[in-house]
Structure 1
């Protein structure tokens, strides 16, 4: 099963869509222009149903096959990032301070190419829902669409997602059963001490000293509480305190992120952070307020669905081009919310030797578009069979 010649024949059109979307990036839920572009294409292709405004600005197209079968969902994200683009391409962002630095323009173009093919051929059974989601970049757009009745309004037996990966060769794929991307939690620890003159520290309760001890102690969570074979990242990324040289301040603030590939690791990190704060507060005579926000869950692939996706990718790209035990990423992905509701799988597609994601010089590699669109087509045909 090589690349779809029908997809290859419209490659230049898919590239055109991708570059048009790249030039007009939008952030989080404010993707009205992008959503309108997508909805217009889906209607022109002949989707049986096109609905907009789901989860504020999400778009869903429904494509029905020629016989009975399963209903599945193929998902793409739509939003860009607040980054000033430095690629210098002719189709670079026309909006200052915004760019598609994560490849969501390519994700949309691949799914649009597959949607066009499926609408034209109807050579599958069951129903394919193509979902274009806002606010993946920190806004939990997947959760918003689910809360807006996504899976009740559009019957779904399984869900599938895909993300490009710089450093992986174009034409290759990666997948794995179980965790493939991490949960993404954030913490802010406010140390409330007693300020005073720096020359008479004995009259103060120094929040900077307590905060420094806190930073040191937090590094022991991974080193001494987590099984070395498990994956957990705890990073302190901010420390704010003080305002002049000769004053001990009243407060200090320490904040950072926790990434885990398991629910147990996630729970352990939160528990230990709270225990460490209580101990250091007592030792230094200060109070420490803990704000711990659980954000995106672990992106957890169903084993059977991951195997199915790997087989489809191998048929498209060749088995040597598929990593069936891809290394998981400690970055997060809100497709995880969809996988909590329905079985499915998330895969990586190679973007070649590009700049890294979320980099001002990143660009999606147009050569990957036909591979991604062909993968979606074949996955739709296989996964909808009753």
Structure 2
């Protein structure tokens, strides 16, 4: 870390100048949001979205392609920088908002607010360019947030952020669980790790009328699923937040045939690495033993995903100060077993993920009717601004 060198008075002046400039940028940002919302693209196919966002930024800004359909751009001179992320991808959801700028692509929608995040980042980047910020700001246009392989992981491992001397990363995500005008800015673990798993139970199939001649993998699998629900409640420390959910079952093709194989898929989430690894081990043992008790063989395959997302306490504290300076209510409680691949950035750099309240008419995340008001572009941009200043002042990166 670096010694604090950006004085408080200077930061406050910069906050006021950038906030005023963001307001000037809002009309263009709103138009951009509407255009992006009309033409969403799925994970891994966001090239047009990336190019349209880059077109909305000053042409002289340095930019680099990364992670296939992503980009990184820089505002400011050489030296250590703060990165701010927005996501490019939409979701495989058919929109039902009836907005005049609703998606024109059947089966694809910005149902997670990424269009709002992108418009907010553009407003912030344009404001930072106009004001000539003393600490460089690196904008991350990240692909593949909604699927694997993770775009954040690819960017973090690419070395591009190292080339830009990034010393902190900032993110902000709309959140209908919070009221309008509130931003959650919470230190420590705020999003869970997320791993997917597949359980396979192998038996010996045959005619369903002769169960004594088979070893039924369906029965074995269902008992595994029931038993797995006891892992969090009876094998984990009750103070360690964790979730194990079985979400799909697949077995057989005919009602009168006992199949050879039955499978289940699901997700494991945990708020610390110890609980995460314990659940992996406990589930693997349970699958094997319960399947064996029913004359079958069971195996578990875990497909690792995002780590726990940790917010840096010092950046969190500094950012909360600049949120309040903009008359934004700060929530210091919200944590979620949801996950975000921003966690790959937080594993490499001091980081902060904020949650910007949208409650007041919008539906839940990933809903076909999720449509935050355009006003939330301004709120997300101001949260990103507070995070940028909180990191720059806390890590003392000017000069």
Normalising by the residue count of structure 2, what TM-score does the alignment of the two structures yield? 0.90
- Structure 1 position 364, deviation (Å): 2.3
- Structure 1 position 8, deviation (Å): 2.0
Alignment-derived partner of residue 139 in structure 2: 130
Q: Does 1:230 align with 2:237?
A: no
Q: Does 1:55 align with 2:67?
A: yes
Residues 246 and 177 (structure 1), Cα distance of their counterparts in 2 relative to 1, 3 Å cut? same
Q: Please tell me whether the aligned partners of residues 55 and 146 of structure 1 are also in contact (alpha carbons under 8 angstroms).
A: no
- 2-structure distance, mates of 1:71, 1:207: 55
DSSP-derived class of the 2:53 partner: helix
- 1-structure distance, mates of 2:155, 2:290: 42
Q: How does 1:13-32 map to 2 (within 5 A)?
A: 13-32=28-47
Output one character per residue of 1:141-195: Cα deviation in whole Å (capped at 9) or x when no partner. Answer: 1011123222222211111111000132222100211111111111111111001
Output one character per residue of 1:244-279: Cα deviation in whole Å (capped at 9) or x when no partner. Answer: 222221111122111111111111110011110121
Q: Which of 169, 182, 197 is residue 187 of structure 1 equivalent to?
A: 197
Q: Please tell me whether the aligned partners of residues 174 and 322 of structure 1 are also in contact (alpha carbons under 8 angstroms).
A: yes
Alignment-derived partner of residue 347 in structure 2: 340
- Structure 1 position 4, deviation (Å): 2.2
Q: Does 1:103 align with 2:113?
A: yes
Q: Please tell me whether the aligned partners of residues 80 and 164 of structure 2 are also in contact (alpha carbons under 8 angstroms).
A: no
Query: Gaps spanning 5+ residues in structure 1: where?
Result: none
- Structure 1 position 51, deviation (Å): 1.8
Residues 382 and 207 (structure 1), Cα distance of their counterparts in 2 relative to 1, 3 Å cut? closer
Residues 283 and 378 (structure 1), Cα distance of their counterparts in 2 relative to 1, 3 Å cut? closer
- 1-structure distance, mates of 2:390, 2:350: 15
DSSP-derived class of the 1:316 partner: coil
- Structure 1 position 378, deviation (Å): 4.2
Q: Which of 273, 281, 285 is residue 291 of structure 2 equivalent to?
A: 281
Q: How does 1:76-95 map to 2 (within 5 A)?
A: 76-95=86-105
Q: Does 1:175 align with 2:185?
A: yes
- 2-structure distance, mates of 1:109, 1:379: 17
- 1-structure distance, mates of 2:24, 2:166: 30
Q: Which of 326, 331, 336 is residue 329 of structure 1 equivalent to?
A: 336
